[in-house]
Amino acid sequence: MAGLSSNSDTGSSINIPTIKFTKLFINGDFVDSLSGEEFETIDPRTGEVIARIAAGAKEDIDIAVKASRVAFDHGPWPRMPGAERAKIMMKWAELIDQNIEEIAAIDAIDAGKLYHKCKAIEIPEAANTIRYYAGAADKIHGEVLKPARELHAYTLLEPIGVVGLIIPWNFPSAMFVAKVSPALAAGCTMVLKPAEQTPLSALFYAHLAKLAGIPNGVLNVVPGFGPTAGAAISSHMEIDKVSFTGSTEVGREVMHAAARSNLKPVSLELGGKSPLLIFDDADIDKATELALLGILFNKGEICVAGSRVFVQEGIYDEFEKKLVEKAKAWVVGDPFDPKVQQGPQVDKKQFEKILSYIEHGKREGATLLTGGNRVGNKGYYIEPTIFSNVKEDMLLAQDEIFGPVMALMKFKTIEEAIKSANNTRYGLAAGIVTKSLDTANTVSRSIRAGIVWINCYFAFGNDIPYGGYKMSGFGRDLGLEALHKYLQVKSVVTPIYNSPWL
Catalytic residue numbers?
A: 269, 303
Identify whether the C-beta of residue 475 lies closer than 8 Å to the C-beta of residue 267: yes
**Nearest-angstrom CA–CA distance, 480 and 485:** 9
**DSSP secondary structure letter of residue 239:** -
437-446 and 414-421 are packed helices; what angle lies between their axes, rounded to 10 degrees?
A: 30
**DSSP secondary structure letter of residue 377:** S
Classify 246 as helix, strand or coil: coil
Classify 191 as helix, strand or coil: strand
**Nearest-angstrom CA–CA distance, 6 and 9:** 5
CA atoms lying within 13 Å on the CB side of residue 418: 13
Phi-psi region at 299: left, alpha or beta (left = phi > 0; alpha = psi -120 to 50): left
**Nearest-angstrom CA–CA distance, 55 and 60:** 9
Q: Count Cβ neighbours within 10 Å for each residue of 197-230 and write b for 16 or more, e otherwise.
A: bbbbbbbbbbbbbbebebbbbbbbbbbbebebbb
